[in-house]
Structure 1
Amino acid sequence: KTEPKGNSRRDFLRKIETEMQAIWDEKKVNQADAPEDYSSMSFEEKNKGKFFNTFPYPYTNGRLHLGHAYSSSKNEFATRFEKMRGKRVLFPFSFHCTGMPIAAAAKRLVLEKKFAEEEKSAKVDKSKTQRGILESMGVPEDEIDNFEDPEYWLDYFTPKGRADLQVLGLNTDWRRSFITTPKNPYYDSFIRWQFNLLKARDKVVFGKRPAVYSVLDGQPCADHDRSQGEGAVPQEYTAVKLRVIELPEELKEYEDKDLFLIAATLRPETMYGQTNCFVLPDGNYGIFKMPGDQYFIMAERAAKNMAYQDLTEEFGKYEQVGKVKGSVLIGTPLKAPLSKFEKIYTLPLLTISMNKGTGVVTSVPSDSPTDYATLMEYKNKADVRKKLKVEEEWVKDYEPFPIITIPGEESKEEGKEALSEPIDMIAVDLCKKMKIKSQKDVKKLEEAKDIAYKKGFNQGVFSYGDFIGEKVSVAKDKVKDMLVETGDALIYFEPDKKVI
């Protein structure tokens, strides 16, 4: 049996390290002061031989980790290198405490305690709770309740971060270390001065823009204010209004109302090719009263989002007047903006997510592989229609038709034949080439979708509609603006991934 190796070599190196760090502290080698005659120096003399280095303030909602050590090693190298070149080097290090993550974590502790008291029998994975996370950082259990106060996080983790960096031997002037937030009145005053000056010079203005918004805190939730979803940004959809022209029996009470299915799309330019609409059969949809005495059918989550985008009568509020199951909507005839068909039908699609968009999806089989595969399945397979309760008349007379052409690739050699022929319907072409037979070929359909969308946008030219001959990349916004101006659509945003 091999005995584990001892730590003598590591301990010897640590001994040297701590001895040298003590000498640095004694001689104050990490401290940087202005020369005594600084005030009498010329601008050139003041700036000659100076080097300033800084590090993005680490957030104090926990202990520092290896990533901080790795990133700060770059500062460490530059600072020592420039100091060896004889420069006056200043490297301060500070801690970021502003934003919502700390406040949100503190609030989460309070809510977890309340839930534990109300639901004593509920099973909870402690490692995923805020209390469990703090315990994993080495916080004593009898101290965790103190973290319900957001300021306690600052008092606890900031000195521990500094202590860890001192053990690491970071070459920084700790006299100049500070934290953010109003708890540090000097830094807070500096930030206030900075923004007041910018405002006075008309460099900042008050207004609205798309942003990830925290309903709980009543303000935008910036990137570093999140416990999950860093990097998420507002994604713009065109919410297309599909007018209900014949109501199912369950919705007869809305007979005299302007009722619409709201389909969120990233590709408004393809609306010319609509042949049908999709809903999730098991999806729970709401009916919401909107401005102009219109009624929208969509996921409640989408209605809530719209309430914070000035799309409802009152900011932050939405009026739900009814509920309807997706299965009830199947077979509902609709009038789709820009489609050449006077009437299209609502069909089932099993892959719809109620956590994205509105839960309603337009269908353009000429340019969407999933739409084409699903439509063909319903047209050609009676057993599938029977299983999903789709009537043949809802699909029989609806064929994909060309709206966007992908030009062929010409040969660079004169007199040679074209390398590829133009493609009139990219989705149809890809489904045939990739042998996609069903809406269940999810992996192939995802691959085909990426190809179709990229080629359609970057290379496509309109062959149908109001902008024939124009490139899709140029005319896409024109189609979107036209839909909005005619009242057939509205602009809608939601984060492009989950944010907490």
Structure 2
Amino acid sequence: MVEKGEAMIYMEPEKQVMSRSADECVVALCDQWYLDYGEENWRTQADLCLQNMETFCDETRKNFEATLGWLKEHACSRTYGLGSRLPWDEQWLIESLSDSTIYMAYYTVCHLLQGNNVSGQGESPIGIRPEQMTREVWDYIFFKSAPFPKTTIPKEKLNKLKNEFEFWYPVDLRASGKDLVPNHLTYYLYNHVAMWPEDSGKWPVAVRANGHLLLNSEKMSKSTGNFLTLSQAIDKFSADGMRLALADAGDTVEDANFVEAMAEASILRLYTWVEWVKEMLANFDSLRSGPNCTFNDRVFESEINAGIFKTEQNYEKMMFKEALKTGFFEFQAAKDKYRELAIEGMHRDLVFRFIEIQTLLLTPICPHLCEYIWSLLGKTDSIMNASWPVAGPADEVLIRSSQYLTETAHDLRLRLKNYLAPAKGKKGDKQPPQKPSHCTIYVAKTYPTWQHITLSTLRKHYQANSGSLPDNKVIATELNSLPELKKYMKRVMPFVAMIKENLEKKGPRILDLELEFDEQAVILENLVYLTNSLDLDQIEVKFASEADDKIREECCPGKPYSVFRTEPGVPVYLVKPTALKWPLFHED
């Protein structure tokens, strides 16, 4: 129809487009050069490049795949603006998005061609002039199979350039905005595989796309006043306070949120950390020495090792918010827990190992403060020359047993609070009960029969369904058919709901019929801590099998049952007598 003059090609934007000069844009069909990104063989290689490339985020990978799916011809030239001349048609300039996709190859040799001059006007440290860098010279640098060119550049100098490129390439990481995935970053893949079709070792290794930055949960805008320049932020929050808040702002392609209140809290956290280090240095001799083999020593050491491993993984994945969580917030929480639970005192070696490792883990985010702490520890070399800490063995079962202790202590405090609450009755009759002096904690080796049967059924379904549980209706129908559970059905489904919730949080070990550690041993090792924290005279630990039916029904593995009581006692007061003076009497 076009050939017969019955139709014409018509194009228009999918929505209104306004230029930076506030003019409405229209589509014009002009003579143009196009890059055919949809070409089958080229597309296949781009797909292969993406398949082997790290994107750090599924959404980024899906955006790349979608772009490769629709991207066809791309207009790559124009008649005005910045850009290089098209070699075979110099009336055209190559537009910037098409011309800026392998420029990072130049970075590998620019220091030898222009020295430290960013403008490109500096003298070459090895004496090479710009006019000597012909196309054949560049081919020799960038392609292994290219012949040595006809050039006045000495071979040893040219080989130096080639060796630099071979050493630094490929690009291990390209960090950019998520809005550039549909254009620049996809061209980046296409043009690399076009330049080195037979050498996949030169293809990009990883692309990290990030979202935009919000300020206090709102888009930054000068017109609204919600705006903060980098220099203003550093003056207000310090470099390290700013870096800490930015790391905590977000990791994925979702928009990160820089919150000023978080930046202020970050400065306080860092200040508190420095002051605690100084306090430990001042109290060095008063810290416990000798073997570090108590329950809480072993837990703390395992938590340190686990923190190193998790934080290293998060840094490798460029998940800085998670790295901050595992390498600072959770690391500090482990220290605070150790300080609270270690009734016998914190061990000196563990405390200073913790300080050193904490400093190293935080260095990528807060280098200035960590350099200062490193000097406080008496290190003569810069922390920038220090090695990443090596994680020792982390006993996950031991760590979970410590979490159990924390949860048990919390549960005991709640039960004690409820015990001391006045009984409900008429006004004026509410008398608070007497403060208890003793407590008996009952622990169970096995679940009550009805819970045991329910858990066994859930385990069977979980294993049969490759790690998932069926609908509650299916579970209820099956459990309702079991005669052993008839009288417990009102309690069975709430128990199933609790197990399902914990399954998401803690994983399949929640379906185990027995605990992986000895509850009684954990409580006995920390009996002094529990007794002191509850302000009791004595706590005893017994097995639920020794108790009555009610306690046996209520008590299950991981959920001890406590009974408070007040036992009669006689108050004893210790008085330090005043020292007697000699002689006691004298004669006149």
Q: TM-score range by the shorter chain?
A: under 0.3
Using structure 2 for the length normalisation, give the TM-score: 0.24
- Higher Rg of the two aligned structures: 2
| Larger RCO: 1 or 2 (CA < 8 Å, sep 6+) | 1
Give the structure with the larger helix fraction.
2
